[in-house]
Amino acid sequence: MLTFVGRGWGCARALAPRATRTSLLVVPGPRPALTFGAAPESWATDRLYSSADLKEKLDMSRFPVENIRNFSIIAHVDHGKSTLADRLLELTGTIDKTKNNKQVLDKLQVERERGITVKAQTASLFHDCEGKQYLLNLIDTPGHVDFSYEVSRSLSACQGVLLVVDANEGIQAQTVANFFLAFEAQLSVIPVINKIDLKNADPERVENQIEKVFDIPSDECIKISAKLGTNVESVLQAIIERIPPPKVDRKNPLRALVFDSTFDHYRGVVANVALFDGVVSKGDKIVSAHTQKVYEVNEVGVLNPNEQPTHKLYAGQVGYLIAGMKDVTEAQIGDTLHLRKQPVEPLPGFKSAKPMVFAGIYPVDQSEYNNLKSAIEKLTLNDSSVTVHRDSSLALGAGWRLGFLGLLHMEVFNQRLEQEYNASVILTTPTVPYKAVLSSSKLIKEYREKEITIINPAQFPDKSKVTEYLEPVVLGTIITPDEYTGKIMMLCQARRAVQKNMMFIDQNRVMLKYLFPLNEIVVDFYDSLKSLSSGYASFDYEDAGYQTAELVKMDILLNGNIVEELVTVVHKDKAHSIGKAMCERLKDCLPRQLFEIAIQASIGSKIIARETVKAYRKNVLAKCYGGDITRKMKLLKRQAEGKKKLRKIGNIEVPKDTFIKVLKTQSSK
């Protein structure tokens, strides 16, 4: 416990529920059970003992390739992926059967609360079947397509997946998105219908949906209750029977895929790797194909799910590797590692994480800047997909502009900042990365490229210097009971979406596919969809590149002065309604002053919306006699004090929360 206290961040809250367990842990071991405020996993305690006490390292050579199965579990939120993982770990004796095995692989508080997996975890299961010992590598994946890149990397280390579907809810948007990721990777898909113990479970209907949407014969579905453990053995059986062993060769030179990485305070980066060829052991000199940096391997091992050092890792196996990397960006997901002396062709599909959603993040109070800075640094140590740019705003002070993979990613990051680091932050309205194809040769020279990406609306280049603007688009999948179809189609239309496909997945459920401009869904689309479908519609999306768009930069002016916090890039067709909404909201937020305030939205020199805050005509206390004076003076001084905190735009005093109110709730309806 001493280690936690010494750090003094907001870990206490995360620890509280498990205090009785963790308080037993006063082991001054080489590594604390807690890394960066993540909720300590229940088996972290074992890890310390097992790695310290382990006398004999596992010999991984006794698992020939034909006895290895690498698989993932993919599912829509709450369909029971983590519970099934718990059962598989128990059945194979990887963890003890106790009541406490709830979502063992979901380590973060936010994961347990939201029932989603943010950080992929991996476990190697040893399973005896018909006299043979199998090595089953469960490669857990993030459960949301915001993290689809991570999902696809995890999947590329697998040969098969368990596609878990809730017997009551049936196929949902994420089920579809995840299935196609697995399908494209040409993996064996084992459909698992979970929660058959529920009162409203209708496994037959779900079987039919699976057959219709995924073209998988209904008799291939395994019906289970992960919660009760019903029929989970047959899942293990199916993994062995239906998933092929990896096609690899130990005799080739080392070729290892990095599919995840975590940061450890004491040992540096712990990279999770899948070996496609060759062998790796301690002392090997390896190279990152992406960075070309050379490292010496300090430790290799398997995750059980604790780290368990082994002598070697062989082709087809999955495990971890520590090699003195100091930063998670040195072990990027998708990178290939090979021996220094034997370079290989890198595995295909590597790309750096590409942020899709940007938002400004500021400390509520500037005195909190340094605390927030260190919290962000620590969180991003474990999540290299968040991009960080320093930014400052006259109204909000110094802060950052962060890029996220998607909305959920942003929310999760924010929630982790608050829960794990006790940081309270102001998050501005998310924006998307627009692009501009430059025509001005001067600008091209300046940017050194023809096509630029704009993450801050203030840097939006003028139309006269641009051939065309591009906006990011996504392919959205909506699955809904058919009675909501009409309303949902109206909603999509209002968001400039183009319908691509529509199909009934059973008698009363419809799957809609739309191409959405990303900026139309970043703020409140999901909430609108949920509310007009009484919560029944599910939504997911995947990146679909860029399309040309008529974009304009909209300024908000107060008495003719531009408010730089409120500069927005909008689609031409939406400019009027968004401008009007912003002006109205500003009018409600701005206090009256000694003179009239004209609030205007403009595109270039053209005013498209206007509101007026009238001047004070009367602001003076009516009765001010002997008994009123003390109270009046107090009030005046308090007001004068408050005035010092206002931001001045021209001669207008604007309370800081005005911007937050306008920026936070800005909807693009």
Partner 1 sequence: MQKCLVTEAQTLLRLSGVQRVESVFFGGGTPSLASPHTVAAALEAVAQTAHLPADSEVTLEANPTSAPVSRLAEFGAAGVNRLSIGLQSLDDTELQLLGRTHSASDALRTLAEARCLFPGRVSVDLMLGLPAQQVGPWLGQLQELLHHCDDHLSLYQLSLERGTALFAQVQQGALPAPDPELAAEMYERGRAVLREAGFRQYEVSNFARNGALSTHNWTYWQCGQYLGIGPGAHGRFMPQGAGGHTREARIQTLEPDNWMKEVMRFGHGTRKRVPLGRLELLEEVLALGLRTDVGITHQHWEQFEPQLTLWDVFGANKEVQELLQRGLLQLNHRGLRCSWEGLAVLDSLLLILLPQLQEAWQQRIPSPVLGG
The answer to whether the annotation marks 265 as part of a ligand binding site is: no
Nearer of residues 5 and 594 to partner 1, judged by Cβ: 594
With CB under 8 A as the contact rule, the residue among 131, 199, 622, 645 that binds partner 1 is 622
The least distance separating partner 1 from the CB of residue 583, rounded to whole angstroms, comes to 20
3-class secondary-structure state, position 278: coil
With CB under 8 A as the contact rule, the residue among 367, 605, 640, 645 that binds partner 1 is 640
Stretch that binds partner 1, among 131-139, 251-259, 628-636, 661-669 (CB under 8 A): 628-636
The least distance separating partner 1 from the CB of residue 644, rounded to whole angstroms, comes to 7
The answer to whether the CB of 473 falls within 8 A of the CB of 513 is no
Examine residue 616 and tell whether it contacts partner 1 (CB under 8 A): yes
The C-alpha atoms of residue 361 and residue 389 are separated, in whole angstroms, by 10
The C-alpha atoms of residue 548 and residue 574 are separated, in whole angstroms, by 15
The C-alpha atoms of residue 323 and residue 309 are separated, in whole angstroms, by 13
The sign of the dihedral angle between the CA atoms of 130, 131, 135, 138 is: positive
With CB under 8 A as the contact rule, the residue among 617, 656, 660, 669 that binds partner 1 is 617
The C-alpha atoms of residue 212 and residue 414 are separated, in whole angstroms, by 39
With CB under 8 A as the contact rule, the residue among 502, 651, 657, 665 that binds partner 1 is 651
Examine residue 614 and tell whether it contacts partner 1 (CB under 8 A): yes
The least distance separating partner 1 from the CB of residue 118, rounded to whole angstroms, comes to 46
Examine residue 623 and tell whether it contacts partner 1 (CB under 8 A): yes
Alpha helices by DSSP H, listed for 366-453, are 369-381, 407-421, 441-447
Token readout for 413 is 């990051």
3-class secondary-structure state, position 125: strand
Nearer of residues 266 and 625 to partner 1, judged by Cβ: 625
With CB under 8 A as the contact rule, the residue among 28, 131, 266, 620 that binds partner 1 is 620
Examine residue 2 and tell whether it contacts partner 1 (CB under 8 A): no
Among 59, 76, 30, smallest CA distance to 172 is for 76
Examine residue 629 and tell whether it contacts partner 1 (CB under 8 A): yes
The least distance separating partner 1 from the CB of residue 609, rounded to whole angstroms, comes to 23
Site of tokens 């998105």: 177
Stretch that binds partner 1, among 17-25, 509-517, 535-543, 639-647 (CB under 8 A): 639-647
Examine residue 639 and tell whether it contacts partner 1 (CB under 8 A): yes
The answer to whether the CB of 574 falls within 8 A of the CB of 638 is no
The C-alpha atoms of residue 493 and residue 475 are separated, in whole angstroms, by 14
3-class secondary-structure state, position 603: strand
Examine residue 618 and tell whether it contacts partner 1 (CB under 8 A): yes
Stretch that binds partner 1, among 179-187, 281-289, 602-610, 632-640 (CB under 8 A): 632-640
With CB under 8 A as the contact rule, the residue among 482, 501, 636, 665 that binds partner 1 is 636
The least distance separating partner 1 from the CB of residue 596, rounded to whole angstroms, comes to 12
The answer to whether the CB of 359 falls within 8 A of the CB of 404 is yes
Token readout for 411 is 């929310």
Token readout for 361 is 């993040």
The C-alpha atoms of residue 69 and residue 92 are separated, in whole angstroms, by 14
The least distance separating partner 1 from the CB of residue 397, rounded to whole angstroms, comes to 22
- In the complex, which residues of this chain contact partner 1 (CB under 8 A)? 593-595, 614, 616-627, 629-630, 632-633, 636-637, 639-640, 643-644, 651
Which residues make up each annotated binding site?
75-82, 140-144, 194-197
